[in-house]
Chain A
Amino acid sequence: MAVKEFEKPILKEYTPIPKLVEEATSHLAPFKSKEEFQKSLGYPGELVENWEEVALDKMGDLLKKYRSLRVYMDSCIQCGACTDKCHYYLGTKDPNNMPVGRQNLMRGVYRKHFTLPGKFFPKLVGAVDLTKEVLDDWYSYYHQCSQCRRCAVFCPIGIDTAEISMAAREIMDSVGVGQKYCNEIIGKANKIGNNLGLPKPALADTLEGLEEDVEEETGIDVKFPLDVKGADVLLITPSADFFAEPHVDGLIGYAKVFHEAGISWTLSSYASEAANFGMFIGSYDNMRKLALRIREAALELGVKRIVFGECGHAWRVAYSFLNTLAGPFDFLDPRYPVPQHICEVTHDLINKNILKFDKSANDGKVITFHDSCNVARASGMGDVMGGQFSLPRDIIKATTNNFYDMDDDTIMEKTFCCGGGGGLLTDDLIELRMKGAQPRMEALKRVVEDHGVTHMAAICAICKSQFSKAFQYYGFELDQIISLHQLVGDALIMTKK
């Protein structure tokens, strides 16, 4: 299946609410997962014969396991408050990409099979049977949701479409219809320890190369330790940080922070991945299995703290779920939250005056900050409400002289997704990704024009990869997206050899 040509959106000054175009992106669907990857996650290899029955059983099961799903199926008033809030709707104009439109694909089936009015008066309440066409629509549109939760912020009831798209993906997996990108990656992480399938020798080699690079550049012997028993900090970072641009500059930044603060740290080859794609497919089991690797690595290495690198959904799983999935972490140092974000570590060290910066090192840059959805809307930082917004900004202001925020409606809890989150960062969905990036690109364009912004900093591996593509597509430069800890690393005054 070749990716079709599609019309390139024109960036406007403000993102207008488009008139809807039915079926605008019904042709988009990611590649399906092969049998071997389905089976390794405990799902059927292909569509099972009695799939309708199995799917409805699974749905009934989830409705009893997740209050969110049940309450959200019942409670929607169809008021329309969310209809213009999704970046994919704004970019594609497809009404099934309005959050409520997406939800209704499942709500119709719910009403038909789990409510009385849907059984007796299906036409009246929009109840439908779970036919093959409906299943195909699910596959298409539940993979056009990046689970970014922007809609949930605006909904008067707090209905979270991410909960519904996760449940839908779990139901589809259970009948043998899985997504290639996510399920293959989970397989790799289960087998080797990271999403890239990078085995220990290759990882050690990469880290050694980084040590040489940093020494060459700064003359300082900054270490990138791997599997060091007895280190204080276990760093769990997205595997993209090991080599992808601009991610790797973030990793160098973390290493410099640890080095300058004199904190002993290590990476783990067994848990060499912060990302947890089990969340994207809505599978508690798979998410838990991946999370347990981190617990096992922490026990094995005998560390005192766990720190996460820059990764959006990983931080959601870490901050909001890790204690639930793989806790309790009573074997770690109780003086630190478990786990910590690298921004919390850096922020704390700045406050304690342990890190000093030469801001002029970043004077060539005018910075704006992209709040990644899973950090902004699904987790926190520090011990203040809204710390996930203030801590990264504090760090940017401590390390640079030029910082401008984008429009209020596009940052913090109202931030727009990069367009590639939720397990959609795959080339078979490139049309969706580029169209979904449009609202963020429009907001960026405004600060570029108004304030001469040159770079956008982010703290999410998926955002960084997605923007590398989207920037080129929309006429920005590839290297205008940077890791927040690149700013830290570049401006940090290194006093220790």
Chain B
Amino acid sequence: MSFVTIFYGISFYVATLILFIGLGYRIYEYSIIPSPLKIPTPPAPKTKSGVAIRLFREVVFFESLFSATKWTWLFGWLFHFALLLAALRHLRYFTDPVWFWVSWEIVQAAGHYAGYMMVFGLIGLLARRIFVDRVRYISNPSDYLMLILIIAIAVTGLLMKWFHTDIYAVKMFFIGLMYFQWSELPSDFILLLHLSLVLLLMIIFPYSKLLHAPGLFFSPTRNQTDNARDQRHISDWAKKLESKK
């Protein structure tokens, strides 16, 4: 085992633990904090299935953002959709045998071109941050760095088109990590850079604004039903006030 293999192997275990435990813990925290009052924003659905449709539209189409600002919507949606396509393409490195639909040409090609789309969307978002005075005012260094980090991940990923690595060996490395039968990771610079940046992203996820991903599902203005008059909605801590008299 080379040092590189051992270092990255351990790092991926640690980062995966931080990502899943950290994110799981956040979701647990969100789920146990009550929403003592009904605060859905219009158009507020009256039923749970209505809420499901509303959240689906928010997650898939970014509906609220669309009504707010078309440029941010365009760049943001392109980036997120491209991220999904790229992730699907990457499934081939983590499934053995590769799931049949992952190996379809369309999934693989879309995942590849999505890389360019991702960079385009992210540069658009970065440009907004730099050139729109209002967005510049609210931006902290971490907001720029987050965009730069994901741009760098996408660019290093795309660069492997030209700076080839033994992709089969990379796959065997990850399958090995998953089944605890380690195999060597090629030590090509671009690959290692790509993987290092991904590790960083995994580690900061539960501690950063990337929490907007679970956050949306727990956002009371979006996930509550509009039925306050029909059904009494009361939290445990508020109930205690009633027995106090």
Contact = CB atoms under 8 A, between A and B. Distances in A.
A126 B209 CA distance: 12
A156 B65 contact: yes
A385 B54 CA distance: 13
B2 interface: no
A64 B32 CA distance: 9
B137 interface: yes
B229 A338 contact: yes
A386 B232 contact: no
B171 interface: no
Nearest to B139: A78
B90 interface: no
A98 B134 CA distance: 8
B137 A20 contact: yes
B219 A75 contact: yes
Contacts of B103: none
B220 A80 contact: no
Given A64-B33, A79-B65, A156-B64, A71 B218 contact: yes
B135 A83 contact: yes
A108 B83 CA distance: 29
A167 to B, nearest CB: 12
Contacts of B45: 385
B68 A67 contact: no
B182 interface: no
Which of the listed residues B64, B229, B235, B238 has the most CB atoms from chain A within 10 Å of its own CB?
Answer: B229
Contacts of A101: 137-138
A158 B34 CA distance: 17
A57 interface: no
Interface string B80-116: 0000000000000000000000000000000000000
Contacts of A95: 134, 137-138
Nearest to A289: B241
A80 B133 contact: no
Interface stretch (B35-43, B159-167, B194-202): B35-43
A327 B134 contact: no
Given A64-B33, A80-B69, A323-B228, A74 B26 contact: yes
Contact of A324 (B133, B141, B220, B234): B234
Nearest to B134: A83
A155 B68 contact: yes
A323 B229 contact: yes
Given A74-B211, A80-B69, A323-B228, A68 B238 contact: no
B243 interface: no
A70 interface: yes
Contacts of A328: 232
B207 interface: yes
A223 to B, nearest CB: 28
Contacts of A64: 33
Nearest to B236: A65
A201 to B, nearest CB: 31
Interface string A71-101: 1101111111111110000000001001011
B43 to A, nearest CB: 6
Contacts of A388: 42
B241 A288 contact: yes
B35 to A, nearest CB: 5
Contacts of A126: 140, 142
Contact of B233 (A100, A319, A324, A412): A324
Given A154-B64, A327-B232, A80 B140 contact: no
Given A75-B209, A160-B39, A284-B238, A68 B72 contact: no
A76 B232 contact: no
Given A80-B72, A116-B207, A157-B216, A324 B36 contact: yes
A98 B138 contact: yes
A78 B136 CA distance: 10
Nearest to A150: B41
A83 B138 CA distance: 9
A285 B26 CA distance: 28
B11 interface: no
A149 B26 CA distance: 26
25 contacts: A65-B33, A66-B35, A71-B219, A75-B219, A79-B76, A80-B69, A80-B132, A81-B72, A98-B134, A100-B138, A152-B41, A153-B41, A153-B64, A154-B68, A155-B64, A157-B215, A285-B241, A288-B238, A320-B37, A323-B228, A337-B229, A380-B226, A385-B44, A412-B42, A414-B67
Interface of B: 26, 29-30, 33-39, 41-46, 58, 62, 64-65, 67-69, 72, 76, 125, 128-129, 132-135, 137-143, 145, 204, 207-209, 211-212, 215-216, 218-222, 226, 228-235, 237-238, 241
Given A65-B34, A124-B142, 18 more contacts: A65-B36, A67-B218, A70-B33, A71-B215, A74-B212, A79-B125, A81-B68, A84-B134, A95-B138, A98-B134, A156-B64, A158-B58, A324-B38, A324-B228, A385-B42, A385-B43, A385-B45, A413-B42
Please give me the 7 A-B residue pairs with the lowest Cβ-Cβ distance, nearest first. A75-B215, A154-B68, A80-B135, A158-B221, A81-B68, A126-B140, A83-B134
